């Protein structure tokens, strides 16, 4: 918010007195220069790493991109590597369904929770909620997977599926065709819990950028707190909230082990949230063992990783740029 | 009297309803954590035994015979410790450079952006990347490859954690040092490093926690074995994969051990997470705010 401008003191003195204050040839200055250059090389690493990862994956997936037209790969529906048929469409659909269900389930409670923490909660509650979110974020994906297997899959199988069959059976996306519990809904629930801590903490941070003066002005003219939030706070932070959701979605897109354990892994075009699916990350993880034995198989799987990477990079860069802008916004 | 009437306006009812819905969703989120812990503990604890943590798998282990997962526990500790150490070697200078030389400059924000983007790349993509590099170099799955990939995954997390802490350092401190004639490097070395200590501790534990729980990248790069690794070039087992493989078994005894392995992993991660909070709050006493 009100960040103090960084002042380069030697430069200021230089401007005031008209001469350089720091002799540039002392050994200390040389040491400083050397350190500056070394440190600079280190900061190249993260920037270059993104490029290197992309290029390496592109290079390995080049053979299959050359052998088949891109539209055949992306929209082909048959996956039979032994026959040389590589259609990613069922896997892309699977990824999309699982992510969509996860995000749709996560967003409403996340928005409400972060509003509550930012606008209503006392300091004491806030300082208890933070460690809980940190713990949720620290739990490894495989543990989420075990939880999904032990708690969510039976819950979907025994409770949600019969309920949905009874009341919503005629609506095709809620119909129960494969009653095992494993499927998109189970994966979506697990994903929703996994991405919630990230979404909540980003949203919370964005809510706290809105200056209190705006809230006070609204409350002073007699608005209730919810009216203040809806009419004053939310319009200010709307882009940031959207960005937080996109960030959460990109996390969900790449989640591998936890999803793999509960989604059923059947390559098909799902029509209902109770259907099994086979998302891209699960495809890569499940087949790494035999991918060197069939021609073009490794290339196909690594191009799946490339597709995933490109989508996630786009999602990530967009949402992080918006969030950074919102956090740095100056209120005069 | 007028006030009493106002209380029953529609907007006040809306306020009360919305507020209780919010409180409910907070309870749901917190309840999810409780539910996960309860599931893992109640299923893992009965299967946990002393053998689990002190023995390596014996013959026929994956068909329900004796042994434990010491190989995976040690393997995971080696992987996470190595990865965290390697990531620290790179992240400390980057965080220092961001603070002392770059500040809020354009290049500084590019570096921060790329770190945030790296943070979002899923571990399966890192794993696939590691795999392509290993094919190109003719390497096989090994502890070293796993450590390097984990270091890449942990690097952005650790750097950003340090950066967030060190950004809050008062500018006055830096100015005071500069006014006395020190170079920026001296500021970084003598002033920033000390202020950074709680940040570094938090970052190490964060990175370690992330590294020990990561499965998808290790699957490609470190492989799996029943032995305890004796050299950097050997493959190694890891806890997340031990959980994953044992759950995939058709034998109930082996699945039970998978739950126990999940419990061990959860306990390690929770101890690290709580420990980092405690440690950083203690160390924060010694920094100037």
**Residues B187-210: pLDDT tens digits?**
888 888 888 888 888 899 989 999
Give the tens place of pLDDT for each residue, A237-248.
Answer: 999 999 999 999
Average pLDDT over every residue of A131-150: 91
A104 Cβ partners below 8 Å, 6+ apart?
A: A188
Residue A138, both tokens: 């620290």
pTM score, whole prediction: 0.88
Lookup result for tokens 């995939």: B248
Grade residue A332 by pLDDT with cuts at 50, 70 and 90. Answer: low
Output the CA–CA distances (angstroms, integers) from residue B81 to A213, A289, A330, B91, in the order listed: 47, 27, 41, 15
Average model confidence (pLDDT) across chain A: 87
Confidence band for A48, pLDDT divided at 50, 70 and 90? very high
Which pLDDT score is estimated for A1?
44
Whether residue A207 has pLDDT greater than 60: yes
**Segment A157-186, tens digit of pLDDT:** 888 888 888 887 777 777 777 778 898 999
Q: Which of A93-102, A288-297, B6-15, B252-261 has maximum average pLDDT?
A: A93-102
B9-19 mean pLDDT = 87
Task: Indicate the pLDDT class of residue B145, thresholds 50, 70 and 90.
Answer: very high
User: Number of Cβ pairs closer than 8 Å across A and B?
Assistant: 271
Of B22, B109, B186, the CB nearest to A120: B22
Contacts of A314 in chain B (CB under 8 A): none
Q: Bigger pLDDT: B169 or B159?
A: B159
From the list B109, B216, B269, the residue facing A139 with the nearest CB is B269
pLDDT band at A187 (very low <50, low <70, confident <90, very high): very high
pLDDT tens per residue, range B35-73:
999 999 999 898 888 888 888 887 777 777 777 788 899
A132 to chain B: which residues are within 8 Å by CB? Answer: 29-30, 33
- Nearest CB to B273: which of A59, A138, A285? A138
Q: Which CATH superfamily is domain B51-286 in?
A: MetI-like (1.10.3720.10)
State yes or no: pLDDT of A135 exceeds 60.
yes
Q: Does B208 lie at the interface with A, CB-CB under 8 angstroms?
A: no
At which residue do the structure tokens 């190490």 appear?
A: B204
| Segment A267-288 mean pLDDT | 88
Q: Is the pLDDT of residue B224 over 60?
A: yes
> What pLDDT is attached to residue A81?
82
Q: What is the mean pLDDT of residues B172-193?
A: 86
How far is residue A196's CA from residue A204's CA, in Å, rounded to a whole number?
12
Residue the block writes with tokens 């699916």:
A277
Neighbours of A19 (CB within 10 A): 7
% helix, strand, coil for chain A, step of 5? 75, 0, 25
Find which of A41, A48, A139, A250 to mutate to test the B interface (most B CBs within 10 Å of its CB): A139
Quick check: A32 and B186 CB within 8 A?
Answer: yes
Distance between CA A154 and CA B110 in Å, rounded? 46
Using pLDDT thresholds of 50, 70 and 90, give the confidence band for residue A264: confident
Residue A23: count other Cβ atoms within 10 Å of its Cβ: 8
Q: Strand locations in chain A, DSSP E?
A: 79-80, 85-86
More confident residue, B35 or B289: B35
pLDDT at A177: 76
Beta carbons of B29 and A109 less than 8 Å apart: yes
Alpha-helical segments (H) within chain B = 2-6, 10-44, 50-54, 70-97, 106-120, 123-137, 143-167, 171-179, 184-186, 193-213, 216-221, 239-247, 252-283
CB contact under 8 A, B30 and A129: yes
Chain B residue with minimal CA distance to A313? B117
pLDDT at A5: 60
The fraction of chain A above a pLDDT of 70, given in percent, is 93
pLDDT digit string, tens, across residues B239-273: 999 999 888 888 888 888 899 999 999 999 999 98
Helices (H), A76-159: 89-115, 123-138, 141-147, 153-155
Residues in chain A closer than 8 A to B152 (CB atoms): 49
CB–CB contact A143 B178 (8 Å): no
A189 with A273: CB under 8 angstroms? no
Residue B1 has pLDDT above 50, yes or no: no
What are the structure tokens assigned to B37, written together?
């812990």
pLDDT mean across residues, chain B: 87
Eight-class DSSP state of A101: H
B10: which chain A residues are within 8 Å (Cβ-Cβ)?
Answer: none
- Cα dihedral B118/B120/B124/B126 (nearest 10): 0
Which of A1-10, A322-331, B139-148 is least confident?
Answer: A1-10
Instruction: Give A172 or A298, the one with higher predicted confidence.
Output: A298
For the segment A102-125, the average pLDDT, to the nearest whole number, is: 93
All domains in chain A, ordered by first residue: 9-67 (no CATH), 89-328 (1.10.3720.10)
Q: What single-letter DSSP state applies at residue B122?
A: -
Which residues between 14 and 73 in chain B have a beta carbon less than 8 angstroms from any beta carbon of chain A? 14-15, 18-19, 21-23, 25-26, 28-30, 32-33, 35-36, 39-40, 43
Which residues in chain A touch residue B15, judged by CB atoms under 8 angstroms apart? 224-227
Mean pLDDT over A118-128 rounds to 89
Q: Which one of B7, B114, B128 would you mutate to disrupt binding with A, by most A Cβ within 10 Å of its Cβ?
A: B128
Task: Return the residue of B nearest to A29 by Cα.
Answer: B183
In a 13 Å sphere around the CA of B125, the CA atoms on its Cβ side amount to 31
pLDDT above 80 for A25: no
Closest partner residue to A257 (CB to CB) among B15, B216, B258 is B216
| Segments of A209-324 assigned E as strands | none
Give Cα B79 distance to the centre of its chain: 13
Testing the interface with A: which of B6, B15, B17, B22 to mutate, by most A Cβ within 10 A?
B22
Mean pLDDT computed over B64-91: 89
pLDDT confidence of residue A325? 86
pLDDT digits (tens, 9 = 90+) for A299-314: 888 899 999 999 999 9
pLDDT of B2 strictly over 80: no
pLDDT value, residue B173: 86
B10 close to A (CB below 8 A): no
For residue A318, pLDDT beyond 70: yes
């Amino acid at each position: 918010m009100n960040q103090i401008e960084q002042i380069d003191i030697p430069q200021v003195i230089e401007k005031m007195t008209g001469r350089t204050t720091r002799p540039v040839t002392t050994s200390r200055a040389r040491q400083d220069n050397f350190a500056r250059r070394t440190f600079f090389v280190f900061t190249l690493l993260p920037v270059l790493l993104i490029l290197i990862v992309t290029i390496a994956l592109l290079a390995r997936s080049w053979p299959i991109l050359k052998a088949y037209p891109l539209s055949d790969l992306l929209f082909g529906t048959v996956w039979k590597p032994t026959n040389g048929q590589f259609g990613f469409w069922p896997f892309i659909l699977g990824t999309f369904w699982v992510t969509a269900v996860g995000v749709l389930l996560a967003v409403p409670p996340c928005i409400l929770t972060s509003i509550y923490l930012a606008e209503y909660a006392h300091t004491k509650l806030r300082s208890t909620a933070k460690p809980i979110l940190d713990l949720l974020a620290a739990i490894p994906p495989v543990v989420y997977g075990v939880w999904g297997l032990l708690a969510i899959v039976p819950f979907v199988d025994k409770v949600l599926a019969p309920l949905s069959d009874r009341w919503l059976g005629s609506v095709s996306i809620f119909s129960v065709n494969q009653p095992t519990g494993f499927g998109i809904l189970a994966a979506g629930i697990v994903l929703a819990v996994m991405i919630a801590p990230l979404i909540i903490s980003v949203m919370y941070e964005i809510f706290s950028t809105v200056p209190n003066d705006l809230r006070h002005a609204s409350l002073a003219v007699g608005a209730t707190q919810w009216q203040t939030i809806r009419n004053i706070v939310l319009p200010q932070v709307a882009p940031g909230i959207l960005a937080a959701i996109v960030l959460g979605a990109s996390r969900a897109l790449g989640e591998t082990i936890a999803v793999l354990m509960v989604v059923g892994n059947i390559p098909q075009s799902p029509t209902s949230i109770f259907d099994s699916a086979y998302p891209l990350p699960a495809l890569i993880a499940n087949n790494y063992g035999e991918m060197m034995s069939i021609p073009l198989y490794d290339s196909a799987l690594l191009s799946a990783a490339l597709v995933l990477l490109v989508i996630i990079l786009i999602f990530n860069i967009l949402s992080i740029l918006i969030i950074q802008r919102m956090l740095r916004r100056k209120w005069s | 009297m007028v006030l009493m009437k106002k209380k029953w306006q529609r907007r006040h009812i809306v306020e009360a309803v919305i507020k209780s819905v919010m409180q409910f969703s907070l309870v749901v989120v917190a309840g999810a954590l409780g539910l996960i812990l309860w599931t893992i503990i109640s299923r893992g604890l009965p299967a946990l035994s002393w053998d689990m943590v002190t023995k390596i798998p014996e013959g026929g282990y994956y068909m329900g015979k004796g042994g434990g997962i010491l190989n995976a526990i040690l393997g995971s500790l080696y992987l996470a410790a190595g990865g965290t150490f390697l990531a620290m070697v790179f992240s400390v200078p980057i965080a220092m450079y961001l603070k002392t030389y770059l500040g809020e400059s354009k290049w500084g924000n590019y570096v921060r952006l790329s770190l945030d983007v790296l943070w979002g790349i899923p571990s399966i993509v890192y794993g696939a990347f590691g795999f392509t590099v290993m094919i190109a170099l003719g390497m096989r799955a090994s502890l070293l490859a796993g450590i390097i990939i984990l270091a890449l995954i942990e690097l952005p997390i650790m750097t950003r954690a340090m950066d967030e802490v060190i950004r809050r350092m008062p500018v006055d401190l830096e100015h005071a040092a500069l006014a006395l004639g020190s170079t920026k490097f001296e500021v970084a070395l003598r002033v920033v490093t000390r202020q950074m200590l709680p940040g570094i501790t938090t970052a190490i534990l964060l990175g370690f926690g992330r590294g020990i729980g990561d499965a998808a990248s290790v699957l490609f790069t470190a492989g799996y074995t029943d032995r305890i690794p004796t050299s950097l070039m050997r493959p190694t087992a890891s806890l997340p994969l031990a959980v994953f493989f044992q759950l995939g078994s058709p034998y109930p005894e082996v699945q039970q051990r998978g739950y126990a392995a999940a419990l061990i992993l959860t306990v390690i991660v929770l101890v690290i997470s709580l420990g980092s909070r405690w440690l950083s709050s203690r160390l924060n006493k010694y920094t100037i705010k």
